[in-house]
């Protein structure tokens, strides 16, 4: 599968969320399909923490690098993929206390979601999140709504304590579809130059007919 290698890992279930065993990785882990350099986090104590939050599977339990909200308990995380993916679920790990986010709203294929636009935007899907879970939670998405995704924005409106939100791991399960096509650049002449379009021998033929 060019451009995107899966880390093959365990299975989830069909209900809203499941806990992923630490010993059993998740199938079709999309870490290699994420454009890490362009991940953005809004209202974080560390603006670069988004890259650190999205970790390879072997670092999923590492709490050295986390995302923590700054001014209040709201967070927005924008994650672009290197191509189009069919998303199956979102993987989250929080802390076993009230700093865990209480809910999640996600928006697919939107580049413009920030704190000024998010309240007026319609979420693709919403979840009530598990409180105080130290395991990785697997939140299933509606397949029909996530079948062709090139970027996803996650909005965490509040935490259980209402003061700060913390996350220690974010990941995605799904299938790679294709790389994004680069735009084709075509140069048009504003005013064609006749000399550039002359056919060789045309002048000789015209003179011989005169």
2 is a domain residue? no
Is 27 part of any domain?
A: yes
In a domain? residue 138:
yes
In-domain check, residue 161? yes
pLDDT tens digits, 110-139: 999 999 999 999 999 999 998 877 789 999
The answer as to whether 129 is a domain residue is yes
- On the 0-12 / 13-18 / 19+ scale of CB atoms within 10 A, 203 is exposed
Please say if the pLDDT value at position 159 is more than 70.
yes
> Domain for residue 197, yes or no?
yes
Is 111 inside any structural domain?
yes
3-state secondary structure the chain: CCCCCCEEEECCCCCCEEEECCCCCEEEECHHHECHHHCEEECECCCCHHHHHCCCHHHCCCCCCCEEECCCCCEEEEEEEEEEEEEEEEEEECCCCCCCECEEEEEECCCCCCCCCHHHCCCCEEEECCCCCCCEEEEECCHHHCCCEEEEEEEECCECCCCCCEECEEEEEEEEEEECCCCCCCCCCCCCCHHHHCCCCHHHHHHHHC
pLDDT digits (tens, 9 = 90+) for 43-65: 999 989 999 999 999 999 999 99
Residue 1 belongs to some domain of the structure: no
Count of structural domains within the chain: 1
What is the CATH classification number for the domain harbouring 50? 2.60.120.470
Which pTM was predicted?
0.77
Which domain does 81 fall in, by range? 7-209
């Amino acid at each position: 599968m060019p451009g995107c290698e899966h880390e093959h890992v365990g299975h989830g279930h069909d209900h809203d969320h499941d806990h992923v065993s630490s010993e059993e990785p998740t199938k079709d882990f999309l870490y290699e399909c994420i454009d890490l350099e362009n991940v953005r986090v809004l209202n974080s104590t560390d603006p670069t923490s988004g890259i650190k939050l999205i970790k390879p599977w072997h670092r999923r339990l590492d709490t050295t690098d986390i995302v923590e909200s700054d001014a209040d308990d709201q967070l927005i995380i924008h994650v672009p993929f290197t191509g189009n993916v069919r998303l199956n679920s979102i993987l989250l790990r929080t802390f076993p206390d009230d700093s865990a986010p209480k809910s999640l709203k996600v928006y697919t294929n939107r580049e413009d979601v920030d704190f000024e636009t998010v309240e007026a935007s319609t979420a693709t899907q919403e979840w009530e999140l598990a409180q105080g879970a130290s395991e990785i939670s697997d939140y299933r998405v509606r397949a029909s709504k996530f079948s062709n995704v090139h970027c996803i924005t996650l909005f965490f409106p509040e935490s259980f304590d209402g003061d700060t939100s913390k996350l220690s791991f974010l990941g995605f399960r799904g299938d790679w579809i294709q790389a994004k096509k680069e735009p084709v650049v075509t140069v048009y002449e504003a005013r064609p130059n006749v000399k550039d379009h002359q056919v060789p021998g045309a002048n000789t033929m015209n003179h011989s007919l005169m």
